[in-house]
Amino acid sequence: MRSVSITKIDGVPGQVYYPLRTITSAMPTLDSTSVLLKINAAALNHRDQFIRQHLYPGISFGVPLGSDAVARVVGLGTGVADSQLLNKRVLIYPARGWVSAAQAPESEFSILGGTKLYPTGTFADYVKIESANLISPCPPHLDDIAAAALPLAGLTAYRALFTLGEVKPGMTVLITGSGGGVAMFAVQFAKAIGARVYVTSGSDEKLAFARSKLQSDGGVLYTSKSWGADLAVMFKANNISGIDLVVDGAGGDSMNQVLRLMNLGSRYVSYGMTIKPELSFSMGAVLKHLVLLGSTMGSKREFDEMLELVSKYKIQPVVAKTVVGLDNLEDAFTALMDSHRLGKVVVIVNERLAKSSI
Ligand SMILES: NC(=O)c1ccc[n+]([C@@H]2O[C@H](COP(=O)([O-])OP(=O)(O)OC[C@H]3O[C@@H](n4cnc5c(N)ncnc54)[C@H](OP(=O)(O)O)[C@@H]3O)[C@@H](O)[C@H]2O)c1
């Protein structure tokens, strides 16, 4: 079987860009609790890029990259009780060590793909997953390309919005960087349950997309130095009294920009810091009784709740680019870093499916 990892070259974190390396190896052998999956399609996340730049903890030269995939079950360990799983189309929970606790992982949490901490990944023909408890049935309304895009970004959006953000119908939610993989799901999920959603984004085209395709209620360009003031003008025009919840993947001065628009005791959930790895929290935020919450992915229980939500509202992940074959993975990375990209980047791994999927 083939898988794709990275090759070590000289360079410092942030400046180095590790080349991709295809590895041919024997098929994994099953132990009693594990399941063998044949990957149909896999998707890229920002962390795959960070791994190639050595900006991620525990990176490995040899472990396949990739956290997201839709796959078919082709083998079951002797101790897996549910024989019905064989041949099922499934999504892989993109981590391990977190079953159901609401506050934080119960045990050592690690994310699938590219690191020593969970040494397997989805940019591969096959993947062995250590327990059948780490896979879930794929929502039937999704084709392979859409399904592959869902796991990591969908899970992150779900926990930030529902478990920590406690979003409810009618709330006013601000989602930053709506063109991002996680943010796009957050907009779709929040609109599905009836929240009012405003966004920031980097271009008029992306704001128009958020409005027409994701049904956002409005948005402003974060490229404007005073985008918080622009949002205040928009709120006034639309009679919006203030923000109940911010779901932020940008960091930097994002909180300061919107502070005066935030309602007393409102929540600010931070799941990422794309601008820089810090978020300024001022005395003004203290005086507003603001609740600041850090969020990382989510538990297997939240993963299943997210899949239920996606099935219930027939949510369709937005895919910007599909690449066919692991041999063309470099094209997928190029697409991932294209600032005009709108949606996820997916690789069809099982090329036999390509003709029927595209
Ligand atoms: N905590 C977790 O579990 C978790 C999980 C996934 C990702 N993350 C982190 O969350 C961030 C987003 O991840 P992703 O996979 O969604 O990445 P992505 O698809 O590459 O999206 C990044 C987005 O950042 C937005 N952005 C760039 N500059 C911005 C600014 N100045 N203000 C606001 N938004 C800005 C852009 O939005 P526009 O396209 O709208 O311009 C871009 O699409 C990354 O930092 C990632 O490491 C964390």
Q: How far apart are CA 344 and CA 91, in angstroms?
A: 16
Q: What region, left, alpha or beta, does residue 231 occupy, with left being phi > 0 and alpha being psi -120 to 50 degrees?
A: alpha
119 by Cβ neighbours in 10 Å (0-12 / 13-18 / 19+) ranks as middle
What pLDDT does 357 receive?
A: 54
**Domains assigned to the chain:** 2-150+317-357 (3.90.180.10), 155-294 (3.40.50.720)
Four-point Cα dihedral 192, 195, 199, 205, nearest 10: 40
Q: Are 144 and 353 in contact (CB under 8 A)?
A: yes
Mean pLDDT, rounded, for 186-207: 98
Q: How far apart are CA 358 and CA 349, in angstroms?
A: 13
Residues within 6 Å of ligand 1 by CB? 45-47, 153, 156, 176-183, 200-202, 206, 222, 249-250, 271-275, 295-297
What pLDDT does 9 receive?
A: 97
Expressed in angstroms and rounded, the spacing between residue 273 Cα and the centre of ligand 1 is 7
Alpha helices in the chain (DSSP H): 46-52, 144-148, 151-158, 181-192, 204-212, 227-237, 254-258, 283-287, 300-312, 329-336, 354-357
What pLDDT does 184 receive?
A: 97
Query: Comparing C-alpha atoms, which of 302, 343, 101, 328 is closest to residue 205?
Result: 343
**Cβ-based neighbour number of residue 311 at 10 Å:** 15
Concatenating the DSSP letter of every residue in 252-318 gives: ETHHHHHGGGEEEEEEEEE---SSEEEE---HHHHHTT-EEEE--S--HHHHHHHHHHHHHTT----
| Token pair recorded at residue 206 | 């992306």
Q: How far apart are CA 256 and CA 323, in angstroms?
A: 39
Q: How far apart are CA 297 and CA 45, in angstroms?
A: 12
pLDDT digits (tens, 9 = 90+) for 138-171: 999 999 999 999 999 999 999 999 999 999 999 9
- For ligand 1, atom 9, the nearest C-alpha belongs to 272
Expressed in angstroms and rounded, the spacing between residue 275 Cα and the centre of ligand 1 is 9
How many Å from the N-terminal Cα to the C-terminal Cα in the chain? 24
Mean pLDDT, rounded, for 93-113: 97
Expressed in angstroms and rounded, the spacing between residue 120 Cα and the centre of ligand 1 is 24
**Given a cut of 90, is residue 130 above it in pLDDT?**
yes
User: Which atom of ligand 1 lies at the shortest distance from residue 273's CA?
Assistant: 45
**What's 124's DSSP letter?**
B
What pLDDT does 300 receive?
A: 98
| pTM for the model | 0.97
What pLDDT does 356 receive?
A: 56
Give 74's strand partners: none
- Residues in the chain, total: 358
**Cβ-based neighbour number of residue 204 at 10 Å:** 11
Mean pLDDT, rounded, for 203-222: 97
What pLDDT does 353 receive?
A: 81
What pLDDT does 203 receive?
A: 96
pLDDT digits (tens, 9 = 90+) for 7-50: 999 999 999 999 999 999 999 999 999 999 999 999 999 999 99
Q: What percentage of the chain carries pLDDT values higher than 90?
A: 97
Expressed in angstroms and rounded, the spacing between residue 342 Cα and the centre of ligand 1 is 12
**Which one of 45, 46, 158 would you pick to mutate in the ligand 1 pocket, going by the greatest count of ligand atoms within 8 A of its CB?**
46
* pLDDT tier at 288, thresholds 50, 70, 90: very high
Q: How far apart are CA 76 and CA 156, in angstroms?
A: 29
Q: How far apart are CA 67 and CA 148, in angstroms?
A: 10
Q: Supply φ then ψ for residue 303, to 5 degrees.
A: -60, -45
pLDDT digits (tens, 9 = 90+) for 225-282: 999 999 999 999 999 999 999 999 999 999 999 999 999 999 999 999 999 999 999 9
Q: Are 138 and 195 in contact (CB under 8 A)?
A: no
pLDDT digits (tens, 9 = 90+) for 71-97: 999 999 999 999 999 999 999 999 999
Expressed in angstroms and rounded, the spacing between residue 182 Cα and the centre of ligand 1 is 7
CA 328 to the chain's CA centroid: 22
Question: How high does pLDDT run on average in the chain?
Answer: 96
**Which one of 274, 302, 338 would you pick to mutate in the ligand 1 pocket, going by the greatest count of ligand atoms within 8 A of its CB?**
274
**Which one of 182, 255, 333, 336 would you pick to mutate in the ligand 1 pocket, going by the greatest count of ligand atoms within 8 A of its CB?**
182
**Given a cut of 60, is residue 355 above it in pLDDT?**
no
